[in-house]
Structure 1
């Protein structure tokens, strides 16, 4: 960690969730932009360098970094985004708009340019994604509600998310490009979960029986390679599927719970709150504030 990182005092200016079926545009901001890809795939051109991003990727764009975005997936691109300054400044905190709209915002502040030497992309390990999304949604709720102390809460969460970004960059790559001996089994497990997540009877025993090895051995392989238990991954998939259905806004929460593999609305609500950080009803309410299309 660079020494200057111990001195930062972030000010979070804006928090938003963007969902778009067709996204293309070019932007430049005077502050930092943290973007987590929740769903979909896209091409990001950052200062002329092209990055292919997908679910689980974080992009951290420093001030005045031009970025062009093009969605490349057939399903909606969902981004979790927040804008922030590295350092609290009384003159800058009154700027609420994102994007450069005033002459003062064109003036570069050197202490805000610390991240220029750091690669702008990181990949979040599966075991960290649940925590990242939970923390972000708490930040999003604080930004919307603006209760006493919300700026301090957002500041603390900003620091936590920056740590996850740096962790994603620093993650050892010794296994990259190598297919491990147990990968075929893990891949079969993932495919089976993705196909059968809606079945409330799906559990470790039935999954291991399907792939043809003992429950203990499968649990070991899965945790060793993905850093997450089979049960937690299954719950993650069910919650992610339920979030997509909530965003679509066509069905009741009871129907969504059943279609996502939960045996009851109570279990669904409890699991959703534990994973996402807010109740599904609150998550549904926030979707009315989501910008569904950006031209």
Structure 2
């Protein structure tokens, strides 16, 4: 399918679900790109994966009750994040163990709940792998408003998040409330994931959170530039992925993830300072200089 044909389909009234899917894919990619920068800086990809599991029972309950998936997933994720933060205060059991217990239990609860709903198999597939059809207008509006609020919170707490991400002991020493900042970041990760689940699916959503930020990390040493590059990479990947998915009848979530993975591989290979080619070139140049010095 050519690009003009894809644009024509986007404006086709009979395919009203397609522009909605594009909008929510881009919005979720931008939000995940911004929040994902903190996830990558703190090395907390496991927490992102765990949160993706935690939102599942809320999505399942909202589906069964025909309510807002965004609201249901957000409530479930926030409740689970708070429980993890509270139970992790007991240092006898490490935080990663507490995360493993609660988030896997949450996912299992979601599977049990949705198994009681009619059309269980199709619903489960939609939640796990995403779908570009059947996104209600209400969820689109909720995702847009929630995304704007999330970005506003990020702007407000950015300096504190950076300080905690780089040096937790320094953050405590200067009087920052590290525990509550952790809770705030968990909530932001939860909301970003909930916005994304409908398009990309529960299993693949971690890629949307981590891959654009990881690619941006390879391309720049400046945090400000990274936080601009990551949502740009995520949003562009969503557009290209949806175009390829629609053109070749491929799963939309998997296609978007593969596009983002390709961008990461290109950055890993050709990034100006940290890419494989640049590092090899510097190594070869250093060997030449050393040889001349001898």
**If the length of structure 1 is used for normalisation, what is the TM-score?**
0.25
Higher helix share: 2
Between structures 1 and 2, the one with greater strand share: 1
Using CA pairs under 8 Å that are at least 6 residues apart, name the structure with larger relative contact order, 1 or 2.
Answer: 2
* TM-score when normalising by structure 2: 0.25
